[in-house]
């Protein structure tokens, strides 16, 4: 029997949520952290904007709560929103104590204080940032700390395939026991057992053709949790960031919302501003409104992009506040201090995910989910800018507290079954994987994008059902590869988004349907909750 890894806690994912949790748990437990690529290669590293928290004396907890709930279009859970917002200041302090170097400025009397940005949906300046590369500052600081800790074992270039549950092993009482993990460099499957397993795998932007997300964001945690029997909620709410750089080589480089917070304007190709036609808040309206406005104008005029213009601000101000964006745009031939830059919306953030409580617990004992892979009730139908990094740190801490209380009550699982490859062969048809991957991302962009119709959604559902059967057959006959693992997960997430969107017979937040353009105010707002058990029963009956 091959060697099996055993730890007190297995954390799958190495972004802000996963590494924050690992650092706190390592004082009490042996922790394994899996990263499917290099440790820092995830959405956190590329986050530009910042972390929202009430730090200004002119601001208040109530105001931050009200702004978040307003952005969430009736689906936020007020107790969760208040819980996260109230822990904002201490979360920021924890990051500062770790060594995150947030940007400071001089106040009126010459003393240094933290500089706060304002972004869409926020009524006050409350975005703490590290220049325009906040995620990188947080991720690299966390990375340096976890690499130093003797109680944290890091497994880079390891992809989780599936969770191991007691139910799957025929045991009477169900619990998550570990995971099958693919060592991407060795090309073999390993077994990891743990007292507690945490999914911190991030979002699913790569299910769409155009996305601001890095290649690692394929919805792995959501798909694994679904297959293990966890409830999944609100997958129809996919946030499209309004302003990604339009250039064939830019790979949807994100232009931070902070530019609009500092006065950048959105313009048509003829130089005409247009946001005031759609919302009195103009460029500072929530992301769903801005993205739909851009999409509407592009389709109305037949344009491939709109412009974002901050060139009316002083050159020194722009370079000081947005050095990363300035340099990256220069690389592609745009000088944001002199000219507007072309931008388009791109899939950015998954507001739905694995249903969790305030402690990060899922409905599968022993399994936690934190960060973008989760659905806690913080974001509702639309995430407000810069609440995501705050959510990562707050829920990492609450999960840490809950796990610590149970560490000595749960035994390590005994020897788990090895991965069975006895019935499969090496594939001679890898082209099937690449073609299916490409087709999913294209029809998701065309049919399940910023603006939807019932006909488009049904067309997407027909395609995903056929492709899922093809992928299942392929998965059952050939050995695991990186691309096959991700394709299987992307197809699952695509199905969850489509099915959830079909169930919602209204427009709300990030879900906008031409067939149901109004918000249903006759009934209480509802979450779209899906369970694999009811899902299978419904489809078998059909």
Known catalytic residues are 287
Question: Judging by beta carbons within 10 Å of its beta carbon (0-12, 13-18, 19+), is residue 508 exposed, middle or buried?
Answer: buried
Alpha-carbon gap, residue 258 to 50, rounded angstroms = 9
Around Cβ 104, how many Cβ atoms within 10 Å?
11
- The answer to whether 352 touches 215, Cβ cutoff 8 Å, is no
DSSP string, 37-84: SSTT-SHHHH--S-EE---STT--HHHHHHHHHHHTTT---HHHHHHH
**Cα→Cα distances 511→288, 334, 500, 503, 514, Å:** 9, 33, 10, 11, 10
Type and span of the H or E element at 11:
strand 5-12
Distance CA 259, CA 257 (A): 5
Distance CA 198, CA 349 (A): 20
Nearest of 381, 392, 391 to residue 287 by alpha carbon: 381
Phi, psi of 499 (to 5 degrees): -60, -40
Cα-based angle 346, 392, 351 (whole degrees, multiple of 5):
40
Residue 100 CA to residue 105 CA, distance in Å, equals 16
In 3D, which of 269, 210, 265 has the Cα closest to residue 238?
Answer: 210
What count of other Cβ atoms lies within 10 Å of the Cβ of residue 339?
12
Taking Cα atoms as reference points, which of 39, 223, 71, 256 lies closest to residue 141?
39
Tell me the β-bridge partners of 361. 368
In whole angstroms, give the CA distance from residue 511 to residue 449: 9
């Amino acid at each position: 029997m091959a060697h099996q890894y055993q730890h007190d806690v297995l954390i799958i994912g190495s972004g802000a949520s996963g590494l924050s949790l690992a650092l706190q748990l390592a004082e009490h437990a042996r922790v394994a952290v899996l990263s499917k690529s290099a440790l820092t290669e995830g959405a956190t590293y590329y986050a530009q904007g910042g972390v929202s928290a009430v730090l200004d004396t002119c601001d208040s907890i109530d105001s931050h709560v009200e702004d978040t709930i307003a952005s969430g279009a009736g689906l936020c859970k007020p107790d969760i929103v208040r819980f996260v917002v109230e822990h904002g200041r201490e979360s920021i302090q924890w990051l500062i104590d770790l060594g995150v170097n947030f940007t400071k400025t001089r106040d009126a009397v010459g003393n240094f204080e933290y500089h706060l940005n304002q972004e869409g949906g926020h009524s006050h300046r409350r975005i703490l940032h590290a220049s325009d590369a906040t995620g990188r500052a947080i991720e690299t600081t966390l990375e340096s700390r976890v690499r130093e800790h003797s109680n944290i074992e890091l497994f880079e270039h390891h992809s989780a395939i599936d969770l191991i549950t007691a139910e799957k092993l025929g045991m009477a009482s169900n619990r998550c026991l570990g995971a099958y993990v693919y060592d991407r460099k060795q090309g073999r499957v390993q077994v990891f057992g743990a007292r507690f397993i945490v999914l911190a795998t991030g979002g699913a932007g790569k299910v769409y053709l155009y996305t601001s997300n890095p290649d690692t964001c394929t919805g792995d945690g959501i798909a694994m949790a679904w297959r293990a029997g966890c409830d999944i909620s609100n997958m129809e709410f996919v946030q499209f960031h309004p302003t990604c750089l339009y250039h064939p080589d830019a790979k949807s480089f994100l232009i931070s919302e902070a530019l609009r917070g500092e006065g950048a304007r959105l313009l048509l190709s003829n130089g005409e501003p247009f946001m005031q036609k759609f919302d009195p808040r103009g460029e500072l309206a929530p992301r769903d409104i801005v993205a739909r406005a851009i999409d509407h104008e592009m389709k109305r005029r037949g344009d491939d992009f709109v412009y974002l213009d901050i060139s009316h601000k002083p050159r020194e101000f722009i370079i000081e506040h947005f050095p990363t964006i300035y340099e990256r745009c220069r690389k592609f031939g745009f000088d944001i201090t002199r000219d507007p830059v072309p931008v388009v919306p791109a899939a950015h953030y998954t507001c739905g995910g694995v249903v969790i409580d305030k402690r990060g617990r899922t409905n599968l004992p022993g399994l936690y989910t934190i960060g973008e892979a989760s659905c806690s009730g913080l974001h509702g139908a639309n995430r407000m800018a810069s609440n995501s990094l705050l959510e990562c740190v707050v829920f990492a801490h609450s999960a840490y507290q809950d796990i610590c209380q149970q560490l000595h009550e749960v035994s390590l699982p005994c020897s788990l079954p090895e991965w069975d490859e006895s019935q499969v062969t090496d594939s001679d048809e890898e082209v099937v994987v690449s073609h299916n991957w490409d087709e999913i991302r294209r029809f998701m962009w065309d049919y399940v994008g910023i603006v939807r119709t019932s006909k488009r959604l049904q067309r997407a559902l027909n395609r995903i059902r056929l492709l899922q059967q093809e992928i299942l057959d392929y998965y059952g006959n050939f050995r695991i590869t990186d691309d096959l693992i991700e394709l299987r997960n992307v197809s699952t997430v695509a199905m969850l988004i489509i099915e959830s969107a079909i169930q919602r017979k209204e427009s709300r937040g990030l879900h906008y349907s031409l067939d149901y353009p109004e918000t249903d105010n006759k009934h209480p707002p509802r979450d779209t909750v899906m369970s694999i058990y009811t899902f299978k029963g419904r489809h078998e009956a059909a």
